[in-house]
Structure 1
Amino acid sequence: MSFLRRVAGLSLRDRVRSSVIQEELGVDPLLLRVERSQMRWLGHLVRMPPGHLPGEVFRARPTGRRPRGRPRTRWRDYVSRLAWERLGIS
């Protein structure tokens, strides 16, 4: 945001909200950019032919017991939830 403030010619003393500066400059929120890049990478993984390591790791289903406690959030879980919320794809 400090870079965007300098581009807009503002300082913190001007007391302009970050969202206003982002709208004024036409910059997407960072979370939206991250989500788009993750969905783009998911598309690459889904289309990847068998034998390529990233695709194989994505499709792998490990066996065994998981440790006690709250399950750790996996990238696959996050992306599947994101696809469900944004695109309605299960």
Structure 2
Amino acid sequence: MAVPILIYGSEVWVLRSWNESRIQAAEMRFLRAVKECTRVGQIRNEEIRRQLNMMPILGAFKEYRKKWSDHLLRLPLCRLPSQVRRNKPRGRRDIGRLRKRWIPEQADESHS
């Protein structure tokens, strides 16, 4: 599959559940085309992945993000990507909008 195309730049995406759903839908649309089956055939997604020997794309996203995070931890503190990762946003956003965070763990710590 064109995994590199789909995950390009994903190390800095803020993924929401609806984003994940759309990514999975795009993945399955592609896999069904490769397998030459339609949704009318009622073949489950897991079965198509098993037959094509493919792991879910979200697993690839998580691996890619983990590798990028590990890389940032090894970078010297003077490098810009390292500084951006350690930055904590200040200020307020509109009502109902959360502050963007690079590290999901920071979100849990701020609410404690």
Kindly report the root-mean-square deviation, in angstroms, between the aligned alpha carbons of the 2 structures: 2.7
Give ranges in structure 1 of 5+ residues lacking alignment.
Answer: 82-90
Does residue 41 (structure 1) correspond to residue 68 (structure 2)? The answer is yes
Name the residue aligned to 1:53. 80
Change in Cα spacing, 1:26 to 1:80, as seen in structure 2 (3 Å) is: farther
Q: Deviations over 1:2-58 (max 9, x none)?
A: 221122121222110112101211111122111111101101110001211000121
| One-letter amino acid of the structure 2 residue matched with residue 25 of structure 1 | L
- After TM superposition, the score normalised by the length of structure 2 is 0.56
Change in Cα spacing, 1:29 to 1:49, as seen in structure 2 (3 Å) is: same
Q: After the TM superposition, which segments of 4 or more aligned residues of structure 1 sit over 6 Å from their partners? A: none
CA deviation after TM superposition for structure 1 residue 69, in Å: 6.5
Name the residue aligned to 1:10. 37
Rg bigger for which structure?
1
Q: Is the 8 A contact 2:88 2:101 kept in 1?
A: no
Give ranges in structure 2 of 5+ residues lacking alignment.
Answer: 1-27
Identity in percent: 32
CA separation in 2, counterparts of 1:21 and 1:79?
Answer: 37
